[in-house]
Amino acid sequence: MARVLLLLPTRTYRAHDFMEAARRLGVEVVVGSERRQVFAPLFPGGHLRLDFLRPRQAVRSIATFARSYPLDAIVAVDDEGTLLAAAAAKALGLPHNPVAAVAATRNKHCLRRKVAAAGLLSPQFERLSVEDDPARAAARMPFPCVLKPLHLAASRGVMRADDAEQFVVAFERLVTLLRTPNVVQRGGRLARHILVEAFIPGAEVALEGLLVDGELIVLAVFDKPDPLDGPFFEETLYVTPSRLPADVQADLAAQTAKAVAAIGLREGPVHAEWRVNGHGAWLIEIAARSIGGLCSRALRFGAGVSLEDLILMHASGAAVETCERERAAAGVMMLPIPRRGVLRAVNGQEAARRVPGIVGLAITIALGQEVVPLPEGVQYLGFLFARGDTPKGVEFALRRAHQCLSFAIECHRAE
C-alpha cells in the first residue's frame, strides 16, 4: 500500500475529497497540517504537525518521519503547501516539481517575468512597493489596469482601475489588506509589493491539467461565462466542456504546455487561467495545484474517477490511464458573498436542489459566521453543481438554482 503525506492547510476545502480518494484507492494517508486538532475527526491515520511557514524545519520533520515510515509521495492539496511539498519531495528523492518552479507560481511578479521571457502574450506589468506614492505611479500606468497582491489567491485583493483616481483608491485599499497581520505573516516579503498589469479584455477560461514527467495532459477546459471585468473579480460559473472553437482550445493546450515548460514545472496538477481575445491567449495565472474550492466535484473521468483520484494515482506512482473526462457537460457555481455581515440563513435550498440538472449544493459557511466579500474576503458561501447534455443547459440550471437562493446576512451596526 502506498503511503502519501497530504499537506492540508488549516483552511482548505479539499480535505474531504482527497481523503475519500485515498480511501477508494487504498492509499495510506499521513496528514501534514499546521494544527493537530483540525482534521482529527476526518483522519484516523497518521498525523504530522508542520509549520508551513518554516519550510526548512518542516522538511526536517518530514525527513525524520520518513525514516521510520517511508513515504511514496507528498501531495499539497492547495497553494499553501506546494512549496513545502516540492522541497520535502526533493529531500526524500521523490519525483517532484523543481522548488524554483513552484516558487515562481507562488509569486505573481516572478511568474509574469518568466512567462513574458518565454515569448507568451503578456500584458504590460510593473511591480510597485507598498511604500510608493500611488498618485505619482498612476501617471505611468496603462489604464485600464489591474492591481493585485503577489501571493494571495481566490482573487483576493485583485482590483481594476480605469483612471488615476481609481488607481489611488485601489492602491490604498490593497495596502491596507497587505498590512493586516495574517496577510503579512503568510506573505512575508511578498506582502510588501503590488503588481500592476494592463487589463486584458476577453473571455476567461481555466485549464485543468496533469503533468507526468514534464508532459501536459489536459483534463478539462472550463469556460467562465460570467464576464470578469471588475472592479473586483469574484468567480462564479465554471462550465465544461468549453464552448470555444476546437482550434482555440488546442492553442490553449499548446500555450499551457509552453508556459509550464518556461516555468519548469514537471509533475502533478496544474491549474491555468487564460483570457482569450482577438490577439490570442493571455495567461492570467498558472498554479501547481488542482482547481480550488469544491469545484473539482464537477469533474469525473472514465468510470467515476475523481480529480483527486488521478492526482493521488499519479503521485503514488500508479499508471494514470483514465484521464478522459466523461461525456456529459458539467459545471459549478461558486456562490459569492454579496456583502459583509453575519450569515443568519440560507433560504431556498430545496427549490435550488429541485432545479433540473442540479446535482448538488454545498453551503460551506456555518450560520452565525462572519462573511467578508471580495476584495478583502477569501471564502465563498458555497457551491452549486450541475450536469447536463450541453454546457448551455448546465449554465442555465446553475443560474436558475442560484436565483432560488437568498442569503440573510445581518449587517454590522456601524455600516
The interface mask with Mg ion, positions 279-298, x = CB under 5 A, is ------x-------------
Q: Is 78 in the site for Mg ion (CB under 5 A)?
A: no
Which of 83, 146, 216, 397 is the binder for ligand ATP (CB under 6 A)? Answer: 146
Q: Tell me the β-bridge partners of 279.
A: none
The interface mask with ligand ATP, positions 230-269, x = CB under 6 A, is ---x-x----------------------------------
Q: Is 228 in the site for ligand ATP (CB under 6 A)?
A: yes
Angle between helices 307-315 and 15-25 (to 10 degrees): 60
The C-alpha cell of 249 is what? 482550445
Q: Segment near ligand ATP (CB under 6 A), from 33-41, 193-201, 316-324, 341-349?
A: 193-201
Return the closest-CA partner of residue 356 out of 398, 322, 404. Answer: 398
Q: Is 380 left (phi over 0), alpha (psi -120 to 50) or beta?
A: beta
Q: Segment near ligand ATP (CB under 6 A), from 147-155, 319-327, 338-346, 381-389?
A: 147-155
> Strand 28-33 vs strand 46-49: parallel, antiparallel, or unpaired?
parallel
309 binds, among ligand ATP, Mg ion, none (CB under 5 to 8 A by kind): none
Do the Cβ atoms of 407 and 373 come closer than 8 Å?
no
The C-alpha cell of 334 is what? 461558486
Provide the H-helix boundaries in 199-342: 246-263, 307-315
The C-alpha cell of 343 is what? 450569515
Q: Is 200 in the site for ligand ATP (CB under 6 A)?
A: yes
The interface mask with ligand ATP, positions 281-300, x = CB under 6 A, is ---xx---------------
Which of 204, 208, 267, 308 is the binder for ligand ATP (CB under 6 A)? Answer: 204
The interface mask with Mg ion, positions 263-282, x = CB under 5 A, is ----------x---------
Do the Cβ atoms of 263 and 255 come closer than 8 Å?
no
Cβ of residue 156: shortest distance to ligand ATP, in angstroms?
Answer: 5
Give, as ranges, the residues between 26 and 55 that touch Mg ion (CB under 5 A): none
Helix (H, G, I), strand (E, B) or coil at 165: helix
Residue-wise burial string across 361-374, b where 16 or more C-beta atoms lie within 10 A, e elsewhere: bbbebeeeeebebb
Do the Cβ atoms of 65 and 91 come closer than 8 Å?
no
Which residues would be at the binding site for Mg ion (CB under 5 A)?
Answer: 273, 285
Which residues would be at the binding site for ligand ATP (CB under 6 A)?
Answer: 108, 123, 146, 148, 152-156, 158, 197, 199-200, 204, 228, 233, 235, 273, 275, 284-285
